[in-house]
Amino acid sequence: MSDGTPVTDGVSTSSRTGVRLGVDVGSVRVGLSASDPSGLLASPVETVARDALGGADQHRVVEVAAERNALEVVVGLPRSLTGAEGAAAATARSYAVELATLLAPTPVRLVDERLTTVDAHRRLRESGVAGRAQRAVIDQAAAVLILQNALDAERASGRAPGELVRPSRLTEAVGARPRRRKKTPAGRSVEPVPGSGESVGDSTGGNDRVTKTEEPR
């Protein structure tokens, strides 16, 4: 049974063509980017407000993937300089599993994004974007760098980038309401019966992260 643990699958990409999406997960906003069909260049798409409780941001990613007929979705994994993973990486992994569950069978991959946001800030400053103005586009800029790094790595290695994420087997969709207890004639609460039409399983819940920048995104 799948436990949602990302794995490296080593898929050869010699014949892969199609649009890829890049996702930068923040505690306040989620940045989206997309590649051209040849998988050569990443471009910004949009910034989506993070909805850790309702999952509206993840459903928007699903919509964009459908609109662009995406081959796969790449999610940034924020590691430290030493390669260690903390709370932010755990949040990104959880987010990626939830996306993989919603997007299946479209694959979702996790790729190393250490220093991506720092680099995005630097590039925006160099292009003349002021500090306050950066806030509106920094997430998209980070998503572009995440995806571009993944595209470059794929071309260099001939293999799909990062780690393939296994969809969760939970029956409760992301953002779904917690299961309700039914009332018996005697007023007692009972658990919903599998197959009865009510969702059974653990909810994913919210999971804010500490971002990689000096201000929340």
Q: What is the pLDDT of residues 159-174, one digit of tens each?
A: 999 999 999 875 444 4
Flag the least confident range among 15-24, 25-34, 156-165, 169-178: 169-178
Q: Which amino acid, 140?
A: Q
pLDDT at residue 11, rounded to an integer: 56
Give the pair of three-digit tokens for residue 93: 């992994």
Distances in whole angstroms, Cα of residue 105 to Cα of each of 25, 98, 167: 21, 13, 9
pLDDT at residue 82, rounded to an integer: 76
Q: Is 165 left (phi over 0), alpha (psi -120 to 50) or beta?
A: beta
Separation between Cα atoms, residue 79 and residue 35, nearest integer Å: 24
Q: Where are the alpha helices (DSSP H) in 49-196?
A: 56-67, 87-103, 116-126, 131-157
Mind listing the pLDDT tens digit for each residue in 93-113? 999 999 999 999 999 999 988
Mind listing the pLDDT tens digit for each residue in 76-88? 999 877 778 889 8
pLDDT at residue 49, rounded to an integer: 96
Query: What is the residue whose two structure tokens read 């001939």?
Result: 158
pLDDT at residue 15, rounded to an integer: 60
Mind listing the domains of the chain with CATH numbers? 1-212 (3.30.420.140)
**If you average pLDDT over residues 117-136, what whole number do you get?**
57
Q: For residue 111, which of 76, 143, 78, 86 has the smallest C-alpha distance?
A: 76
pLDDT at residue 185, rounded to an integer: 46
pLDDT at 92 over 80: yes
Give the pair of three-digit tokens for residue 68: 């662009």
pLDDT at residue 181, rounded to an integer: 39
Mind listing the pLDDT tens digit for each residue in 140-163? 888 999 999 999 999 999 999 999
Mind listing the pLDDT tens digit for each residue in 179-189? 343 444 444 44
User: What rounded mean pLDDT belongs to the chain?
Assistant: 75
pLDDT at residue 113, rounded to an integer: 86
Q: Is 31 left (phi over 0), alpha (psi -120 to 50) or beta?
A: beta
pTM of the model: 0.69
Distances in whole angstroms, Cα of residue 173 to Cα of each of 56, 70, 113: 12, 21, 27
Query: What is the residue whose two structure tokens read 């930068």?
Result: 24
pLDDT at residue 5, rounded to an integer: 43
